[in-house]
């Protein structure tokens, strides 16, 4: 003979489930956790003790930040594999968020250490000559920039390799002001090459123009590249004459060279009016 379920008032159910009465009423309104019985006269809600495991699942998933719509999908699906897939997908998102938080904390520690020690990044003044290149240019949302960059680089290197064209140096990017000021703007990714670049798909033959720049090297993952941008902008404002023109990045050591992010090196080039010899270390 099975065990008969008992009924609890909303207050007792709140105590048993550790969900507040306000939360239970909200879950009732959105039909996530509907009371087992509602008195037609008093409108009092009563919950079955059989609903306590469901309430615990909801609370655990909410503690993990799962949206209510996703929790509803987990609870309403009758397929255990589908349920596990939904939970696994949320867990993967949590791990990505955790990794992002860890990187942010490391960047914060680096920032505090630099402020306390008074360390200043080294800035080099450099005259960069014009160079022919294979290029891809598109208007891109800044939030999609890293994924777009990796895709563009793959297409550039793949096209050059297929046509037997050798790269002349590290790939780079040219970013118009709107990329930073509006988080959407024109980006150009380029790979310098000795011969004229083949024009296939998005790839076009182009020329990266000459220019004078103040250059700083950002070590490691570009996720916290803003600190190097800030250091370079501060230095240019104090010690150089900035001119109009897009920011450049050169990917001296990148994912293409090593899977170890700590070894990646990105050179950030800020356009200036050069008055000192190229290659000189700018004064701090």
- Cβ–Cβ < 8 Å for 214, 235: yes
Q: What is the pLDDT of residue 284?
A: 47
- Among 57, 92, 119, residue at a domain's last position: 119
Same domain, 127 and 253: yes
Q: Between these two residues, 270 and 105, which has the higher pLDDT value?
A: 270
- Cβ–Cβ < 8 Å for 278, 125: yes
Same domain, 65 and 155: no
Does 202 fall in a domain? Answer: yes
Same domain, 206 and 137: yes
Mean pLDDT along residues 10-20? 90
Same domain, 199 and 226: yes
> Which of these, 98, 108, 103, 119, lies nearest to 221 by C-alpha position?
103
> What is the number of structural domains in the chain?
3
Does 209 fall in a domain? Answer: yes
- 234-258 residue pLDDT tens: 899 988 899 999 999 999 999 989 9
- 199-217 residue pLDDT tens: 999 999 999 999 999 999 9
Q: What is the pLDDT of residue 166?
A: 93
Same domain, 46 and 102: no
Does 168 fall in a domain? Answer: yes
pTM above 0.85, yes or no: no
pLDDT at 154 over 90: yes
- Angstrom distance (rounded) from CA 216 to CA 218: 6
- 54-83 residue pLDDT tens: 999 999 899 888 999 999 988 888 888 888
Q: What is the pLDDT of residue 201?
A: 95
The mean of the pLDDT values for the chain is 88
- Angstrom distance (rounded) from CA 208 to CA 35: 67
- 18-50 residue pLDDT tens: 889 999 999 999 999 999 999 888 888 999 999
> Which of these, 177, 98, 96, 103, lies nearest to 142 by C-alpha position?
177
| CA distance to 5, 10, 45, 51, 187, per residue, from 38 (Å) | 16, 10, 5, 15, 60
């Amino acid at each position: 003979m099975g065990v008969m379920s008992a009924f609890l008032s909303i207050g007792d159910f709140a105590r048993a489930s550790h969900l507040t009465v306000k939360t239970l009423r909200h879950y009732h309104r959105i039909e996530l956790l509907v009371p087992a019985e509602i008195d037609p006269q008093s409108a009092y809600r009563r919950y079955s003790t059989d609903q306590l495991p469901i309430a615990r699942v909801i609370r655990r998933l909410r503690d993990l930040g799962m949206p209510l719509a996703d929790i509803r999908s987990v609870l309403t699906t009758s397929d255990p594999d589908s349920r596990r897939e939904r939970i696994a997908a949320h867990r993967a998102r949590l791990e990505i968020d955790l990794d992002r938080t860890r990187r942010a904390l490391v960047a914060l520690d680096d920032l505090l250490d630099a402020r306390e020690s008074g360390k200043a990044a080294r800035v080099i003044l450099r005259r960069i000559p014009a160079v022919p290149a294979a290029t891809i240019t598109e208007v891109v949302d800044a939030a999609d920039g890293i994924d777009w960059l990796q895709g563009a680089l793959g297409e550039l290197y793949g096209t050059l390799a297929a046509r037997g064209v050798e790269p002349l140096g590290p790939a780079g990017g040219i970013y118009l002001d709107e990329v930073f000021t509006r988080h959407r703007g024109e980006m150009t990714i380029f790979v310098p090459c000795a011969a004229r670049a083949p024009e296939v798909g998005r790839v076009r033959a182009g020329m990266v123009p000459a220019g004078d720049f103040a250059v700083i090297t950002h070590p490691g993952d570009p996720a916290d590249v803003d600190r190097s941008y800030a250091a370079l902008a501060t230095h240019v404002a104090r010690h150089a004459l900035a001119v109009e023109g897009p920011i450049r990045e050169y990917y001296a050591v990148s994912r293409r060279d090593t899977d170890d992010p700590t070894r990646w090196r990105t050179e950030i080039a800020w356009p200036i009016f050069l008055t000192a010899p190229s290659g000189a270390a700018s004064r701090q």
